[in-house]
Amino acid sequence: MCLAIPGKVESINGEEAIVDFKGIKKKANIAFCDCKIGDYILVHVGFAIQVVDEKRARETYRLLDEKCKT
């Protein structure tokens, strides 16, 4: 099983994007994912693997927040 965290694409430069993970900004390779600025993407070990809708991304954050509080 793998864990991929959703983040919002803030900028793109070639095959690299700056992705915002609830305030933490990281670089991600987007060579395998057709995304654009403003999209939410799933990132696993530094690679974007899928575009997801905002509703799904927010639900994932809610679940992670809920689990981290316990």
Band (pLDDT 50/70/90 cuts) for residue 67 is confident
> Between the CA of residue 10 and those of 2, 42, 51, 68, 69, what are the distances in Å?
24, 14, 14, 26, 28
- Per-residue pLDDT averaged across 55-61, rounded? 92
Q: What is the pLDDT of the chain when averaged over all its residues?
A: 92
CA distance 59 to 12: 25
- Per-residue pLDDT averaged across 47-67, rounded? 91
pLDDT higher than threshold 70 for residue 60: yes
The CATH class that applies to domain 5-69 reads mainly beta
User: Would you kindly state where each structural domain of the chain is located, as residue ranges?
Assistant: 5-69
pTM for this predicted structure = 0.88
